[in-house]
Structures are given as structure tokens and as C-alpha cells.
A and B are shown apart, each in its own frame.
Chain A
Amino acid sequence: GAVVSQHPSWVICKSGTSVKIECRSLDFQATTMFWYRQFPKQSLMLMATSNEGSKATYEQGVEKDKFLINHASLTLSTLTVTSAHPEDSSFYICSAIQTGGYEQYFGPGTRLTVT
């Protein structure tokens, strides 16, 4: 139980285009989901907290207009990287907390490469 999926697992896009990453809780409902960014050989950096039905809460220094987060249902949150640039290339990981719980379950991550 408590499985989180991400789609796609990897994506290559051209500079200036937008790319959407999906995070789904497969067997539980998640009121809260988180989006992290991880650079090679580094730790996870929390980008934003996504709450179902409300606006995401972004961490300091994260551009909300560039990283659009939508949490339209209790099982799906999406991260859209708008007008992507090579510096946005990274490993993006989502996690979800089961409604009423407090343990995070992590997705497998999405490798984004912007050329």
C-alpha cells in the first residue's frame, strides 16, 4: 500500500517550452503533496506544498509563476515547468501524505532535461 507514482519518469524538452509532471497517490487519498527538486549528489530541496483544492505554498526563492502546481483532486498533483531553460534541468520528486496521517510517501522521481 501507500504507492505514489510520477509520470513521466524522464522527459527531454526544448528551451522555452513547458512540461507537466504528474504525481498520483495510487491507493490512498492525499490532502497534501509536496514537490522537491534534487540536484546531482545533493539533498532534496522542498519547492512547494500542494494542498487539495487550494493554492500551493511555495518555499522562499521558488518562482511560483515558473513552477505551476495544481492539486485538483485527492489523488493527483501536477507540476508544470513553464518556459523551461537548461538551468531547470533536475530530478523532481513528489511525495504525498495520506489524509489524516503524517508520513510522507515518495514517488520515483522525474528526470527533466532541457536542451
Chain B
Amino acid sequence: AQSVTQPDIHITVSEGASLELRCNYSYGATPYLFWYVQSPGQGLQLLLKYFSGDTLVQGIKGFEAEFKRSQSSFNLRKPSVHWSDAAEYFCAVGAQGGSYIPTFGRGTSLIVHP
């Protein structure tokens, strides 16, 4: 079974600073990987996903993530954070060829200081 670790519960950055949210996964084969964002009281919005191919994935809102098989990681990055990026971010991993249902990490709360 797959699992996801988001080691940081909270991340605080200043507006305009760069951002990296960490995600490590455990799965025996090439996984499907996702990053979602959740604003307070809202559902989840997909930021980006990796299924295969180029390991650097571009998403919406200026986010990108890089799949590193050797490190079992899929870290999310943004070069310049905006105050509106403050939200909860979830990494998820799904099993290719399996039931697909993704397993979610516990989430990282992003706090943006002006």
C-alpha cells in the first residue's frame, strides 16, 4: 500500500519569498502524484499532477513540482508567494494500474506574512 509523508505541519513565508513544500511517498512502483490546495471551509483544488514523462510538472497559480524517484519525493515549489496562497496543501499518491484511489498526506498549512 502507498503512503505519503508531509513532514511540515506549518510553513511560514513572507509575501514575495520563494516556497517549497515537501512531500515524500512510499510506493513500490511509479506512482501517480498530486498536489491539492484547500482554502478554509472549501473543497480541494488540483494544483498539478504527475503521471509519467517529464519529471518537472507545471501547475496552476504559478506552482511547479518535481518528481525525484531516487528520493521518493514530489516537492511543491513557487518562486514568489502571494498572500492569497495562504491555505492548506495536500500531497497525494495513487497507485498506477491499481484502484487509483489516492492516499493523502496530512497536509501543510501555509502562512503568508505581508
What residues of chain A have their CB less than 8 Å away from a CB belonging to chain B?
4, 6, 34, 41-44, 46, 49, 91, 93, 95, 97, 102-109, 111
Contacts and interface: CB of A to CB of B under 8 A. Distances in A.
B17 interface: no
Contact of B105 (A6, A43, A103, A104): A43
Contact of A109 (B36, B42, B101): B42
Nearest to B45: A106
Nearest to B100: A102
Contact of A44 (B46, B90, B109): B90
Contact residues of A: prevailing secondary structure: strand
Given A43-B90, A43-B105, A44-B90, A106 B100 contact: no
Given A93-B44, A108-B42, A111-B41, A43 B102 contact: no
A44 B41 contact: no
B22 interface: no
B49 A103 contact: yes
B10 to A, nearest CB: 10
Interface of B: 32, 36, 41-46, 49, 90, 94, 100-102, 104-107, 109
Contacts of A43: 90, 104-107
Closest 7 CB pairs of A and B: A106-B44, A106-B43, A108-B43, A43-B106, A43-B104, A109-B43, A44-B104
Nearest to B51: A102
Given A93-B43, A109-B41, A111-B41, 5 more contacts: A4-B43, A49-B101, A95-B44, A108-B42, A109-B42
